Structure 1
Amino acid sequence: MPGLGTLVNAAAIVVGGGLGIALGSRLPERTRAVVTDALGLVVLLIAALNAAEVLSPDLAAAVGSAAPTLIVLGSLLIGGVAGSLLRVEDRLESLGLLLRRLLARSTAAVGAPPAEPGAPAPVPPPDRFVEGFVSSSLVFLVGPLAILGAISDGLGNGIDQLALKAALDGFASVAFAAALGAGVLASALPVLVYQGALTLLGVALGSFLPDAHIAALTATGGLLLAGMALRMLRVRDFPVADLLPALFVAPVLTAVVALF
């Protein structure tokens, strides 16, 4: 059934995040900070592996040996301008705040002791919730498995790739939620939307994207992950979400350059 792999992936994030929250409440703040730093280093490693796809032979064969770096550069510039004008980072953070409020109401309605008249319902710190939502969403969404796995699922080739991604995301969400809280659970929603849309694309197209296009997209995504790692390591508050449109620009630029 198309879409099953994405449902399994989202469920793994929710279950892993729930375990992480239960574990995180027993961890001191210093330990949570160490976990976040360790995750940042792992994300940096994954970013380097993804960015290395700029050296892909398939990409070089399609656009020439000198063009791959320029394609990634052009994708980031065009995508960054578009994302900044569309205020993707602000809108994603606004979505995180909205989900935080909804989750807070849900928590208060189920088993929470009644608050004193006029007193606001307790809610988690907004910055921590939003950071957990944005950070985990970007890590779960950026990468070749999200694209190839979802399209493969849509083509009816099985959910093997998304099952692997679900296992990786599930373990990652434990560490993320232990360090960053309930916002990690909310990241299951953009995973459902994004991978669900790619699954529908696979159903409609009936074929995979060319390997060269995937390589360009993966290399561009690797640099976005590097920005996310810098953010997690508190090196710089990088507006990674504003660069997300670059993921859509990369395959288009590859197709354009390949024509010449």
Structure 2
Amino acid sequence: MMFHYAVILNSLGVLLGAFIGAIFKKKIPQKLHEILFTVIGLTTLGIGVRMIIQGNDFLLILLSLVAGGVIGELLKIEDRIENLGRRFKDSHGFAESFLASSLLFLVGPMTIIGSINIGVSGNAELILIKTVLDTVSAVVLTATLGSGVFLSAFSVFIVQGLLVVFARSLTFLTGDVFIADFVGTGGIMILGLGIRILELKRVRVGNLLPALVLIPFFDWLKNLF
């Protein structure tokens, strides 16, 4: 089930969009590129704020980010992403483009509900709609931020594929509270990316990634009591 056609199409759509974006990037004048870079940064801030507002329990969100940040620092996730980026010719902005695209493609109700729907009922409609949106977004993100978007196709395949495989055990994640806090946690990370893209402060967002795994666990623990 991990190799469901909709999951594969979504991953290939990101690759296609990134390929088209890479072609466009070479043709964009430097001044226009700077303007687009600023627009992407501001838009990312806006998306982050909108997602944060959807959060439900901000104490748990804070706890997940603190604990996730500690784990991320110990595992040196950000450094590993940057080291991986150095293998690409277009290594400048690799971490930003990879993190931005991965979070934007994966942190949202469509990812969770769509993937679990495939695993439980075989209904791939949401993921197919998401494929179109992600393909277009990949073009814009690659043209402005860089080649890290290519690698995000792998993130899309792994995360959505695993959600499909374990769908019957993860149906609780489709609950409003779980989705709200998951999106809220991701929103804070995306807000951090916006700040980073605009070069206001270098927020090490990569080291916060474990928070996305911790927040559903903390919500689950809370619901036990």
Q: Normalising by structure 1, report the TM-score.
A: 0.78
1:207 and 2:171 correspond:
yes
Q: Is the 8 A contact 2:44 2:194 kept in 1?
A: yes
Indicate the residue corresponding to 2:23 in structure 1.
22
Aligned residue pairs total: 223
The CA distance in 2 between the partners of 1:258 and 1:158, in whole Å, is 28
Residue aligning to 1:82:
71
1: CA distance between counterparts of 2:94 and 2:78?
15
8 A Cα contact 1:89 1:241, kept in partner: yes
Worse-matched range after superposition: 124-133 or 219-228 = 124-133
Structure 1 segments unaligned to the other structure (5+ residues): 56-67, 101-123
The amino acid of 2:212's aligned partner reads L
Name the stretch that deviates more: 72-81 or 44-53.
44-53
- Verify: 1:135 aligned to 2:94, yes or no: no
Q: Is the 8 A contact 2:82 2:94 kept in 1?
A: no
Q: 1:212 to 1:157 in 2, by over 3 A?
A: farther
- Counterpart of 2:171 in 1: which secondary structure? coil
Q: State the match for 1:10 in structure 2.
A: 11
In structure 1, how many angstroms separate the alpha carbons of the residues matched to 2:150 and 2:84? Answer: 13
Q: Which runs of 5+ in 2 are unaligned?
A: none
Match of 1:95 in 2: 84
2:109 partner amino acid: P
Which residue matches 2:158? 193
The RMSD of aligned alpha carbons is 2.0
- Aligned AA (2:12): A
Partner of 2:124: 159
Change (3 A) 1:127 1:7: same
CA offset at residue 93 of structure 1?
2.4
2:96/2:197 contact within 8 Å kept:
no
**Structure 1 residues 1-260: aligned runs within 5 Å:** 3-55=4-56, 68-98=57-87, 100=88, 124-202=89-167, 204-205=168-169, 207-209=171-173, 210-260=175-225
Q: Deviations over 1:149-194 (max 9, x none)?
A: 2222222341222122222211111111112333322221121112
Deviates more, 1:212-221 or 1:176-185: 176-185
Q: Give the TM-score, by structure 2 length.
A: 0.89
CA contact (8 A) 2:93 2:146 kept: yes
**SS state of the match for residue 54, structure 1?**
coil
Change (3 A) 1:29 1:7: same
Contact 1:44 1:229 in 2 (8 A): yes
Deviations 1:120-161 (A, max 9, x none): xxxx24224444333322332322322222222222341222
Q: In structure 2, do the counterparts of structure 1 residues 31 and 71 end up closer, same or farther at CA, with 3 Å as the change threshold? A: same
**Does the 8 Å CA contact 2:107/2:182 hold for their aligned counterparts?**
no
- Alignment correspondent of 1:65: none
AA in 2 matched with 1:230: I
Q: Secondary structure at the match of 2:92?
A: helix
Give the 3 Å change call, closer, same or farther, for CA 71–128 of structure 1 in structure 2.
closer
Q: Percent identity?
A: 34
Equivalent position SS for 1:155: helix
Distance 1:77 1:206, change over 3 A: closer
Please say if residues 85 and 94 of structure 2, whose CA atoms lie closer than 8 Å, have aligned partners that are also in contact: yes
1:53 partner letter: Q
Which of structures 1 and 2 has the bigger CA Rg?
Answer: 1
CA distance in 1: counterparts of 2:15 and 2:107, whole angstroms = 18
- Equivalent residues of 2:196, 2:202 under 8 A apart: yes
